[in-house]
Amino acid sequence: MKRKLIVIIAIVVAVIVIFLFLRKSNNSTIVFKTTKIERGDINTSITATGTLEAITTVQVGTQVSGVVKNIYVDFNSIVKKGQVIAMIDTTSLAAAVLDSRASLSRNVATLNYNQKNYNRIKKLYKNNVIAETDYDEALNSFQTAKANYMSAKAQLDRALTNFRYATITAPINGVVISRNVDIGQTVAASFNTPTLFTIANDLTKMQVQASIDEADIGQVEKGQKVEFTVDAYPDLTFEGEVIQKRLQPIIVQNVVTYNVIVDAPNPNLKLMPGMTANIVVYVNQHHNVLKIQGKALRYNPSQDVLKSYYSNLPDSIKQKRINKMNQFRSNNSNEQGNVKKHFTSVWIKKGDNIRPQRVKIGLNDGEYVEIISGLVQGDEVIIGQDIVKNVTTKKRSPFLPTRHRKK
């Protein structure tokens, strides 16, 4: 009998201990993570890649074939317009000039003879001394000699022009960024004009030719601020401005992009043609506005928090608050299809109390969101929550209104 009584007492004690342990282990409290409303700049941007180029780049070629005799410039040489930069051997070209001059002299002599003969025959024909056929033959010989003279003169002009083409001059002021020939090399200009040099006009003024995706091109406009970096100077950020949005589409593997030209000043000559630029186009900028972390808009209280929140509201305002929240959720669901969602809600914390607040939002850069109305600078907004267990101290519920003692 005593043994049964001892067993029963032991079981009861064990149940009591387990109950107390579970009650203690389930004792927990909610700790809210918050952030404060602050003032600052916020902007939306588009990222892309592009290639640096000189504003004006001229490829210098030759219109005559021959052997390169002399080269007077090299890579990075600064040249002036009209400066001689190379020479092609003129031996055959000079011979062509001499041959054309000899041909012109022969035709001048023939023209003079036929002109005098025509003038004599013309007088005899007018006096009816010779037949009309003799007159026609003299006239034909004179006109043929005249045409041959003009052809020989044009041939000489062409030979002189080709002779001048053997002297390669710079068409613009600039810097030689490419030299594609060496002394002794033969260039042939029969079909395609070979490129001998590439001259950039002014490397202190560069531009970036960037490829913008078709989904973003609608936001890009002339005059927008641009920042970009290059791999050669990873710690430097260069500034520019959109100066042109080209209409021609570029399609590569069914991906459509458009070229955007960005002005890129280069006073220190750090930027060089061909560099890859990683650009950021600032399509929208608001300065000195209220902003908040985007986490605050994504915070949704758990069911336990909502249940505790509504349970601690007075009956007089509980139903109004529920109806207001339901209406707000309905409005939000109707605005989901809009391009911009202007209104949303956040949960603010004031002292030990928390409550929802409807706000109007503006720009969103992915990290911060502009607050147009509904909050003031310094407000604490909840961005998350943690449940802290095994807290033995009794803490007042955050949903109970603050009570002030009467003095």
Mean confidence (pLDDT) of the chain:
83
- Token pair, residue 56, equals 């004006």
Q: How far apart are CA 214 and CA 142, in angstroms?
A: 70
How far is the C-alpha of 321 from the C-alpha of 33, rounded, in Å?
24
Of 268, 335, 347, 255, which is closest to residue 301 (Cα–Cα)?
347
pLDDT value of residue 310 = 62
pLDDT tens string 47-100: 999 999 999 999 999 999 999 999 999 999 999 999 999 999 999 999 999 999
Q: For the residues 151-164, what does the mean pLDDT come to?
A: 95
pLDDT digits (tens, 9 = 90+) for 367-405: 888 898 888 888 888 888 776 665 444 455 555 555 555
Among 69-73, 304-308, 330-334, 385-389, the range with the most confident prediction by mean pLDDT is 69-73
pTM above 0.85, yes or no: no
Distance between CA 214 and CA 46 in Å, rounded? 12
Q: Highest mean pLDDT range out of 3-17, 233-247, 379-393?
A: 233-247
In the block, tokens 């952030």 appear at 35
pLDDT above 50 for 24: no
Joined tokens for residue 53: 């180029």
Q: Which domains does the chain have, with CATH numbers?
A: 27-42+290-389 (2.40.420.20), 45-55+199-285 (2.40.30.170), 62-89+166-190 (2.40.50.100), 90-165 (1.10.287)
pLDDT the model gives residue 358: 86
pLDDT in tens, 342-357: 788 888 888 767 778 8
| Tokens read off for 285 | 């900028």
Whether 129 has a pLDDT exceeding 90, the answer reads: no
